[in-house]
Amino acid sequence: MPTFEKKMCARADLRERIGQLPKPVVLTNGVFDILHRGHVTYLAQARELGASLVVAVNTDASVKRLGKGDDRPINTCEDRMALLSALESVSMVVPFDEDTALEVVQEARPEIYVKGGDYDMSAIPEGRAVLAYGGKAVAIDFEHDRSTTNLLKKVRSS
Ligand SMILES: Nc1ncnc2c1ncn2[C@@H]1O[C@H](COP(=O)(O)OP(=O)(O)OP(=O)(O)O)[C@@H](O)[C@H]1O
Ligand SMILES: O=P(O)(O)O[C@@H]1O[C@H]([C@H](O)CO)[C@@H](O)[C@H](O)[C@@H]1O
């Protein structure tokens, strides 16, 4: 097993493994179906806000429920987690099967919760939960105009 795959954490081990990470811990969540420059820039910026970055990744079943398309996700949860684990900015990845990452946030209690600038922190359950226990919720502005959906459109029209 490549060393980076050790960053992949089973959901059942989250509480124990998060306690071993340097603080402050930054946590974010998402689908990350086809990794692109917008994602990696955003993750590098998120990591800069703290000492460790944890990424909670939607399981394949939970991606299906988000309604991004019948053929999504393109990459399995295992593969999406492995790619994220290989990034220098990422300290740990964990899957989640719920509709939101609220339970992950409540279990991990990160000092800082981050999403891309397309989200209003006070309007999402994860952001509200972190603010309620005195943590920080930060929206990071988009730096590159990229999305998995647009990449797929490009591939399909070529
Ligand atoms: N271009 C971007 N710049 C900065 N952050 C981004 C960018 N694209 C996505 N993000 C952030 O990365 C996380 C995961 O995003 P997501 O997987 O939804 O990306 P996406 O490429 O927009 O996907 P999709 O097209 O499937 O909706 C989210 O927190 C989102 O806000
Ligand atoms: O990659 P996405 O589509 O940005 O990820 C989603 O984010 C949602 C957000 O945290 C608001 O709750 C989350 O609910 C959803 O499960 C995806 O992770």
Which residues line ligand 1 at a C-beta cut-off of 6 Å? 28, 30-33, 38-39, 42, 68, 115-116, 118, 142-144, 146-149
Q: Is 130 in the pocket of ligand 2 (CB under 6 A)?
A: no
Domain ranges of the chain: 25-157
Q: What is the pTM of this model?
A: 0.97
Ligand 2 atom nearest the C-alpha of 102 is 12
Which of 1-5, 41-45, 48-52, 154-158 is least confident? 154-158
ipTM over 0.95: yes
Per-residue model confidence as pLDDT tens digits over 17-72: 999 999 999 999 999 999 999 999 999 999 999 999 999 999 999 999 999 999 99
Kindly report the three-state secondary structure assignment for every residue of the chain.
CCHHHHHECCHHHHHHHHCCCCCCEEEEEECCCCCCHHHHHHHHHHHHCCCEEEEEEECHHHHHHHCCCCCCCCCCHHHHHHHHHCCCCCCEEEEECCCCCHHHHHHHCCCEEEEECCCCHHHCHHHHHHHHCCCEEEEECCCCCCCHHHHHHHHHHC
pLDDT in tens, 87-102: 999 999 999 999 999 9
CATH fold of 25-157 = Rossmann fold (3.40.50)
